[in-house]
């Protein structure tokens, strides 16, 4: 809280965006420490997000130091926890998960599921499972397709009301 009260979060976020890697690591530690109480102080997390920390954290998880990747993932997970808690106020949507996805973070986290470090892999898997796995089902519902597996055949089922165009298909021939 003292870091927030002193007005240090905006400069720390700027350091995360623009500084050399060694300085970014220090800024990431400070932001992670500020986020660690987020479960009990969601206002701190909301302030971190308001200051723009999501994109630089998403960028940071893509670097090679597994320890720093874990620190950034922990911070993103704290942010996602608060977003999950606030879903009732945001049309049952975790707005921070959407922010992370728009910042390229979901893709970066998915890529970490192939990471050599077991802790990074486990953390990435947990975050995807806990906060992003429902996205696929929501997309299926939004596009009108039934992407659920057919229980009897183990194949994807197509909606019954889909019809071929009159005159067949034309593939530009």
Question: What tens-digit pLDDT sequence spans the chain (173 residues)?
Answer: 777 778 889 999 999 999 999 999 999 999 998 898 767 889 999 999 999 999 999 999 988 799 999 999 999 999 999 999 999 898 899 999 999 999 999 999 999 999 999 999 999 999 999 999 875 555 555 555 444 444 444 555 555 655 655 666 565 55
The closest alpha carbon to 119, from 169, 173, 65, 70, belongs to: 70
Tell me the pTM: 0.76
Is residue 162 classed exposed, middle or buried when 0-12, 13-18 and 19+ CB atoms within 10 A define those classes?
A: exposed
Q: Which two structure tokens, joined as six digits, stand for 102?
A: 């728009």
Cα torsion for 63, 69, 73, 74, to the nearest 10°? Answer: -150
């Amino acid at each position: 809280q003292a870091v927030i009260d002193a007005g240090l979060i905006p400069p720390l976020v700027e350091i995360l965006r623009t500084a050399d890697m060694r300085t970014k690591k220090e800024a990431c530690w400070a932001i992670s420490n500020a986020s660690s109480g987020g479960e009990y102080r969601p206002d701190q997390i909301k302030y971190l997000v308001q200051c723009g920390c999501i994109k630089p954290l998403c960028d940071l998880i893509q670097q090679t130091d597994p320890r720093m990747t874990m620190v950034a993932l922990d911070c993103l997970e704290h942010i996602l926890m608060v977003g999950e808690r606030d879903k009732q106020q945001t049309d049952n949507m975790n707005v921070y998960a959407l922010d992370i996805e728009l910042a390229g973070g979901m893709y970066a986290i998915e890529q970490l599921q192939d990471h050599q470090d077991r802790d990074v892999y486990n953390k990435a898997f947990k975050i995807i499972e806990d906060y992003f796995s429902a996205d696929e089902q929501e997309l299926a519902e939004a596009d009108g397709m039934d992407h659920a597996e057919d229980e009897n055949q183990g194949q994807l089922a197509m909606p019954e009301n889909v019809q071929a165009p009159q005159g067949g298909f034309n593939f530009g021939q």
